[in-house]
Amino acid sequence: MAEYMILIYEDENGYATASPDVFQQVMEAHNRFAQHVDAKGGKLVAGNALQPTSTATSIRGDVVTDGPFAETKEALGGYYLIEARDLDHALDIAKSCPARFGGVEVRPIMVFS
């Protein structure tokens, strides 16, 4: 098994304007995803949602600036760290990761040994 990070990139406006119903659906989808990882034979190591990029602070060199590192339409909004057998397995799991207003990126964790 190897570790993969599933990075969830979404348009933050989607959540900024979402109704309580939509939030409820998103929460339920994430709960289902956690069960789904187990059912697929993977393992959920960690996962978190992030506050929106309006709360981000960037540091380049020693210069501190307000805002995210790069302004993009779809911003990093959360992540899961999973264990999977190989890339196909990780992608199979990541396909069911909720990302209603965007998509996900799957990156292998670098192993130092």
- Please name which of 4, 6, 3 lies closest in space to residue 98, comparing C-alpha atoms: 6
CB 26 within 8 A of CB 100: yes
Among 2, 29, 45, 56, binds another protein (CB under 8 A): 2
* Smallest separation, CB 109 to another protein (Å): 10
Residue 41, phi-psi category: left (phi > 0), alpha (psi -120 to 50), beta (remainder): left
Report if residue 48 touches another protein, rule: CB under 8 A.
no
Report if residue 45 touches another protein, rule: CB under 8 A.
no
Q: In what order do the strands lie in the sheet with 2-10?
A: 43-49, 75-84, 2-10, 102-108
Q: Which residues, 63 to 92, sit near another protein by CB under 8 A?
A: 85-88, 91
* Smallest separation, CB 2 to another protein (Å): 5
Report if residue 39 touches another protein, rule: CB under 8 A.
no
Q: Which residues bind another protein (CB under 8 A)?
A: 2, 85-88, 91, 106, 108, 110-113
